[in-house]
Structure 1
Amino acid sequence: MSADASIITLTTDFGTEDAYVPAMKGTMLSIAPEARLVDVTHEIAPQDVMESAFVLQSAQPYFPDGTIHLVVVDPGVGTERRAVAIREDGHWYVGPDNGLFPLVIEQDPDAIVELDNPEMWRTSSPSSTFHGRDIFAPAAAHLAAGRSLEELGSPVTSLEPLRWAEPFIESNSIEGWITHVDHFGNCITNVRRSTLLDMLELDEEESLDESSLSLEVYAGNTVLDSIHSTYGDVSGEDPLLLFGSTGFLEVAVNGGNAAELLDIRKGDSIKIALSQSA
């Protein structure tokens, strides 16, 4: 991997008002000055491991092979949780071993190391509260500069597990919840299109015609009765359901903020009761 072609993405819960992100970027550029740093987001809710995994999983497929994904959402910083780097299918991942990466990768990685080689840290006495600057950022930069994964630390065979919370499916209903509220106020659920297919006993190859479904969806302070294909299918400021670009069911408002208008928050439940009309 050549240094001038190296991309490092950054996903954190640090926000942009403080010096945390610039400190990480400065550390990386001191080691790999020609690396290209791409901000995925720094607005993850504080310590929300699942949200960081959801956002990175939504962005990662669009980056080229050789990309290094640095993720610092680390409620266990300074504890005995491991710091790790991972190679999987042409991509590298660097961050805390707190269940985040199994959510993104969803398969056994090609290789994992614990970042326990002090020569690859920023300092031999890293801060107990800022491993992002002192351990994770240097590891990502060393990879970008051409170091091998094995130089960063000792091999390990597994990661701490964490699984997505799946919706609960009954014969004629699905109960899920809101996993993410995006910048526009769209409320993204954990209900995939395939979940509806499973409940309706349809194969993946079969078409799901939303217009043929009779349903009631309870979300926030509203009840919706149909699934649309795009936001413009309803009048301005009207709420709707649709399967968005992430592949999950969304509660949205055309031209408005669904979270605010419908009083929906991350973690709220959503109930879908439906049957296929004749």
Structure 2
Amino acid sequence: MIALFTDFGHDGLYVGQLHAVISTALPEISIVDLCHTIPPHDIRAAAYLLPAYTRYLSPASVIVCVVDPGVGSERPHAVCKADGRWYIGPDDGLFDVLGQHVHSFRKYHFQWPGEVSDSFHARDIYTPAACLLAESGGSDVLQGQPVETDKQRFSADLNEVIYFDYFGNAITGLRGTTIKTEGKITINSVTINHARVFSDVPAGDCFWYENANGLVEIATNQSGARDSLGLQLGDSFSVD
């Protein structure tokens, strides 16, 4: 299986080209559009969402990860092996949180032979490289060089809103295991309590919970925390 994780949007010109590359190289393989709505150019948000939303993918899955505002620059190309899964994309901080959340992690830098476009490395480098990984099962096919992973641009957790889901509720960069259920979150001068699920609070009430992918989410039952609390991406919060 090859999964795609990008900020390209579902409706533009780009995702279909990634599918075309994969289907041409490996017509029998499954393709999963895991997410194409990462906030545009937001490497940090992507870095916190990536480990949470790929941990249920099967071992040996290959994930093409592209949030790449520096495309065409000198930033290196990376392939990572994390808990049996392969991740491939620009080494621009995208994999920094992943390396802190998994049990086993190795990162390699690689060069891609031949001519490629200056501005679409997702199509011309990362997706064909992912096909090679899916076919061979080993990073040696890319002749990658091991990279030290002790220097991280982002910490393991982030007390900020990083994504709004379809319902307008706020996913954060904080893992649910780091906060007790008795804890209170204060954001935009409003203090909210924990609830296990939406039905535990009346319609219109705000609460926080650990979502199905392990991240703290600030929500409003049968509404959306973005509107009810006036939230924006990047809003920070405290935990008491």
* TM-score interval (norm. to shorter): 0.7 to 0.9
Following TM superposition, by how much is the alpha carbon of 1:110 offset from its aligned partner in structure 2, in angstroms?
A: 5.7
Secondary structure of 1:236's counterpart equals: coil
Secondary structure of 2:108's counterpart equals: strand
Q: 1:97 aligns with which of 85, 91, 106?
A: 91
2:213 matches 1:246: yes
Secondary structure of 1:145's counterpart equals: helix
Distance 2:4 2:104 in 1: 20
Alignment-derived partner of residue 135 in structure 1: 125
Following TM superposition, by how much is the alpha carbon of 1:254 offset from its aligned partner in structure 2, in angstroms?
A: 0.5
2:43 matches 1:43: no
Following TM superposition, by how much is the alpha carbon of 1:100 offset from its aligned partner in structure 2, in angstroms?
A: 1.1
Alignment-derived partner of residue 109 in structure 2: 114
2:155 matches 1:161: no
Secondary structure of 2:148's counterpart equals: coil
| Native 8 Å contact 2:207 2:218 kept in 1 | yes
Following TM superposition, by how much is the alpha carbon of 1:230 offset from its aligned partner in structure 2, in angstroms?
A: 1.3
> Residue 25 and residue 65 in structure 1: after superposition, are their counterparts in 2 closer, same or farther (change >3 A)?
same
Residues 247-256 or 69-78, more deviating: 247-256
| Native 8 Å contact 2:38 2:163 kept in 1 | no
| Native 8 Å contact 2:110 2:144 kept in 1 | yes
2:20 matches 1:34: no
2:177 matches 1:182: no
2:229 matches 1:266: no
Secondary structure of 1:84's counterpart equals: strand
Following TM superposition, by how much is the alpha carbon of 1:246 offset from its aligned partner in structure 2, in angstroms?
A: 3.4
Secondary structure of 1:129's counterpart equals: coil
| Native 8 Å contact 1:100 1:162 kept in 2 | no
| Native 8 Å contact 2:83 2:103 kept in 1 | no
User: Identity over the aligned pairs, expressed in percent?
Assistant: 31
Distance 2:225 2:43 in 1: 24
Q: 2:142 aligns with which of 152, 157, 173?
A: 152
Following TM superposition, by how much is the alpha carbon of 1:53 offset from its aligned partner in structure 2, in angstroms?
A: 2.4
Query: 1:128 is aligned with what amino acid?
Result: D
| Native 8 Å contact 2:64 2:130 kept in 1 | yes
User: Please, what TM-score do these two structures have when normalized by structure 1?
Assistant: 0.76
Following TM superposition, by how much is the alpha carbon of 1:127 offset from its aligned partner in structure 2, in angstroms?
A: 0.7
Following TM superposition, by how much is the alpha carbon of 1:74 offset from its aligned partner in structure 2, in angstroms?
A: 0.6
Q: 2:71 aligns with which of 77, 80, 101?
A: 77
Q: Which structure's CA Rg is the greater one?
A: 1
Q: Which runs of 5+ in 1 are unaligned?
A: 1-6, 119-123, 168-175, 198-207, 274-278
Following TM superposition, by how much is the alpha carbon of 1:147 offset from its aligned partner in structure 2, in angstroms?
A: 6.2
Query: 1:144 is aligned with what amino acid?
Result: A
Distance 2:77 2:148 in 1: 13
Q: Which runs of 5+ in 2 are unaligned?
A: none
Following TM superposition, by how much is the alpha carbon of 1:143 offset from its aligned partner in structure 2, in angstroms?
A: 1.4
Query: 2:168 is aligned with what amino acid?
Result: G
